[in-house]
Amino acid sequence: MNVQKSYRNFLNKEDRAMSDQLKEILKNSKYKHDGRSIIACDLSLLKIEPSINTKYSILNDENKEINLGISYTHDVSSSEFKAEFLPRGESFNRKVAFLDRDGILIEDTDYPGKVEDVIFKEDVIPLLQTLIHKKYELIVVTNQSGIARGKYTENDYQETTKYITDYYKSIGFTILDTFYCPYHIDGSITKYKSQSLLRKPMPGMVIKAAEKYQVDLSKSIMIGDKMSDILKCSYLKYFIKNNNEHPDCFKSFEKMTQAILKL
């Protein structure tokens, strides 16, 4: 049997008959179900590389679809894909607005990696107020290849993060946490020269956050200013500002805010 083909067919719902085959495979792998739709499953036995841009589900005995979550890896500095599933369930109920940092919370100047580089954005404030009004918690997810490129150190980054977080706290916005990716394949610092599933558009940072804070990704949104902020994670809704590459992008925070108010 061509496992990869049948699995993808199943995911695409093009061939429901494949579900029995998949269930058989799952039965013989580390498949667990605690009765509340919290499912952990190691599909690495399938020897496939499933798309992380796909919703995973199986059919239960009543032929109803059970959502399995999305696949991810624990080996964040490697591009190797180990397929497991994000646990989901009743306790995963926090609603988060994931925020890109540069171009959203601060001006995207040339690798702003030190406190003195930070220029806060004024026009994002009404958007942040709306997010709080809509009961979103705020988590920052930021690519920081400047660390890999040797433009600033991880310590500089940490100081900058504290500065930004403290500033927003002082004007009434609590940033729950900040996740960052210091890796880049073209880096000059050996320690950080690698591909990473943390680096957007890969969804590693969001998945780490979801695990740490029990976030319901299906109720959460991502706000950014580049196409790479549209993550390979189909659960989130995406709001991208000022990017003409795609017709769905917003020209201003104001227009984005109007759309978020309608959620």
Instruction: List residues near Mg ion by CB under 5 A.
Output: 100, 102-103, 225
**Which residues form the catalytic set?**
100, 102
As measured in angstroms, the least distance from the Cβ of 100 to Mg ion is 4
In the bound complex, which residue of the shown chain has the CB atom lying closest to Mg ion? Answer: 103
Nearest by Cα to 227 from 239, 219, 236:
239
Residue with smaller CB distance to Mg ion, 58 or 104: 104
- Separation CA 194–CA 77 (nearest Å): 7
Which residue lies nearer to Mg ion by CB, 56 or 253? 253
Of 214 and 228, the one with the shorter C-beta distance to Mg ion is: 228
Among residues 24 and 107, whose Cβ is nearest to Mg ion? 107
Minimum Å distance from CB 183 to Mg ion?
Answer: 17
Rounded least distance, CB 242 to Mg ion, Å: 10
